[in-house]
A and B are shown apart, each in its own frame.
Chain A
Amino acid sequence: DVKVTQSSRYLVKRTGEKVFLECVQDMDHENMFWYRQDPGLGLRLIYFSYDVKMKEKGDIPEGYSVSREKKERFSLILESASTNQTSMYLCASSRAGLVNTGELFFGEGSRLTVL
Chain B
Amino acid sequence: AQSVTQLGSHVSVSEGALVLLRCNYSSSVPPYLFWYVQYPNQGLQLLLKYTSAATLVKGINGFEAEFKKSETSFHLTKPSAHMSDAAEYFCAVTPNQAGTALIFGKGTTLSVSS
Within the assembled complex, what's the spacing in Å between the Cα atoms of A81 and B46? 31
- CB within 8 Å of A: which of B42-56? 42-46, 49, 51
Q: Which residues of B have CB within 8 Å of A56? A: 99-100
Interface of B is mostly: loop
In this complex, how many residues of chain A approach chain B with their Cβ under 8 Å: the count is 23
With A42-B90, A43-B90, A98-B101 known as contacts, the answer to whether A109 contacts B42 (CB < 8 A) is yes
Bound CA span A99–B41, Å: 28
The reply to whether A40 and B101 form a contact with Cβ atoms under 8 Å apart is: no
Most A CB contacts (10 A, CB to CB) among B32, B43, B49 go to B43
Binding site for B on A (CB under 8 A): 4, 33, 35, 40-43, 45, 48, 50, 56, 58, 90, 92, 98-99, 102-104, 106-109
